[in-house]
Structure 1
Amino acid sequence: MGNEFKRIILLKGFQYISDYQFSVIKCLLAKDLRLTSKMQDEYDRVKIANLMEAKFRGPACVDKLIELVKDIEEIKDLAKTLKNEKLKVIRRSRAKEATPVKKSKLNKLSPDQSTSTTLKALGPESIKDTPVKEKKTTKTNESKRMNLKKEQSQLPGLLVTSTQSTESLPQTPQMLPPKPSSSSSTKKKNDIATKINDLKRKTVSQKQSQLPGTSATSTCPTGSSCPVKSIPPPTPSSSFSVKKPRLKAVPKEASREEGFQRGPKEVMVLKATEPFTYDVREGKRKMFHATVATESQFFQVKVYHVDLKEKFIPKKIIAISDYFGRNGFLEVFHASSVSDVNPDRKMEISKSLIQKANATPKISHLYSQALGTFVNGVFLVHKKLVSNECIYYEIQDDTGVMEVLVYGQRLTRINCEKGDRVKLICFELALSGDKRQLRSIIHSFIKVTKARKSKEQPFNPESYLET
């Protein structure tokens, strides 16, 4: 069965990916398969498939490839094909195993034995619905009711009614009317009634004492219940006559929109990166990232028309129309999608919202975020490891450490060393083996601030963000 899963990897997985994408997958598998740089250069698709089948037995080797391709933007749709092929193999295998076993059992067992065996095989849930179970349940209920009637008949002062439903539990038994009592019993009743009334008065007085504008003193006569008087509303004082404006809650994360949005959405630009080439294969396509805000929300924006950079000026108010919401970003493709607004337009954005929009998430917080989340922030580089076409960085803050995987010539050629501050924009939160990492994609952006040679100051991520 292991060979079938290996065949899926070769025919359905590796066959439809480019050499560059295959090199990325080898880079991602380097730790699990213990691939040296030489092995990553020399091993072809067949050898990698053999290693995967040996390391991840059975369907686990296909699951590993699914986990890798779904995080690579260009081939993430391949994950669905691999899942379907894996299920086909599992179904075929189960069908082959189940058929001979069923036939041999039916041939050996007698009709009565086969019925009971079949019920056992179906499990407790199926047995519940069989007539055998119903008969047992009925007998059990009958015995319970008989025992209950016997016990009730033995108790003094109880009446057992014959009209009670056989399907419901017995109701509270009715008490026989008491015989005329002596004067001592009447005195006891009066004492009990007095205690109950005293308790009621105490409860009412406690409730009244907790309400504004009421007196806790009870004026009710002994032996009578005390009615609660209506409380007049307190007169508003001058200090509370003016209503204070409600403070708006500041969002902790960038707001998300999905699908095509007509707009227009008026926003203030908070910051923007310089344009960069993200794809050299098709006419050197360029883009830049930006952060914008309304008075109550902030958004991350991908702009694919670099001439719009002149409109994305910090503190400028613009209107965005005909854009797409996807993966936590607003995506702008056309120059006509961004326009100026009235110069007199004002937008009051709180300092706390701007701080949240510019903030670097704590590494401990990233471990609680959902996989697939895209992360922006400035981090301290703690370690660096070069592996063929990939670079592994270890970033660190006062809450923990996390691995960052960077691949592709555009990003691996950036000079970043231990001790530098690195700004990461549009890095995807992914899983590598049993640990989390930040992984670059085609739209990722990196900017490095070199470490100072003089005595290092305490690290403040906000000081490295663009205005």
Structure 2
Amino acid sequence: MVNEYKRIVLLKGLANISSDQFDSFKSLMSSDLNLEKNMQEKYTKVQIADLMEDKIPNDAGLGNLIDFCENIQTLKGLAETLKEEKSKVRGKTPLRNKNQEASSATKTSTASNTSASDGGETSAAQKRKSMNNEKTAVKKAKGSARPNHPPCSTENTARCQSSVFQTSSLASSNTSLDKSTQNQKTQTQNQSATRGAVHKNDAMTVMVLNATEPFVYKSTEPGEKRMFHATVATESEYFHVKVFNINLKMKFTRENVIIISNYLEFKGILEINKDSSVLEAVPVQSIKVPKCLIRKSKETPKISDIRKYATGTLVYGLFTLHKIKVCPKNTVYEIKDSTGYIEVLGSEQCYNIRCKEGDKLRLFCFQVKTVDKQPKLVSGNHSFIKAIKA
């Protein structure tokens, strides 16, 4: 029961972080859990909880999740709640004498042998049984504690399993947690350009490789919001950057060396906002970026490879426009290269860009999604298209 309670607390914590924050957490835990980089997107919250329980036995990895939440301003309330639940978990561990332990070990061994002879029930099967029992209990309690999420489809069952634990034996503490989560969402919109972005305080010296002109982007905050994209590099790696403070545009001049700090990072992309620091480097702080790295920063992925990317992967690159179709809600740009074709769905600032067949389209921050059973590149709040005439 204690181990199961630990697992429920862990699932409860994972259920209350956003999908973007979950992606960041998986990246941080990838080495500890031996996650394959190209498979990280496919792991559900339930699967991650199982892996953490198996590979990080102490408190089922709760400590790792709490540390992660404490580093994100909007998740500090959740971190405190998980700390309280963690202390309860420790309090639930019963004191047993040696005779009780021996008796328990004998019963466990007998039960294990019986299960094996009856059909070889594994620990994984036992976990599934426990989860099914938990789901049954939730259904019975549905009238008095209805989960705050829409019904789940069959293909989303794994994702639902993590959120369904919110109405289990921990329902009493969820009332305050739900309120905290609502506040977190509001704060996230105001404090972070992208949900799940991880705060980086260390200063980093980079050279500016290129930058777009500022453009208006969709935002939940009042007033017109403007940003621009850039690419910067250290002496060993390059980064795509979202700059939400257009007053910094003059500093993002090609080959200018700057020092950035107090920024955010999301899926390898840096985000600079009004709280970030961007300083001009003095001559002694100058860096030299290898030409091979500059060439690599300009490379465009092959469309045949993009079609294999995991859902949610962000894509940048220069492509040839094959066809264009303007629809009421979005514009379909069909792009091509020597390996094939793929559709780009552009809305908001990416809707009906002035271009024609044969032109080049430089795409910034487009997300791979499956639409009508086909992989497509879909624009988001911060996506941008720059058309280059043929």
TM-score (norm 2): 0.49
Kindly name which structure, 1 or 2, has the bigger radius of gyration based on alpha carbons: 1
Q: Which has the higher helix share?
A: 2
TM-score (norm 1): 0.41
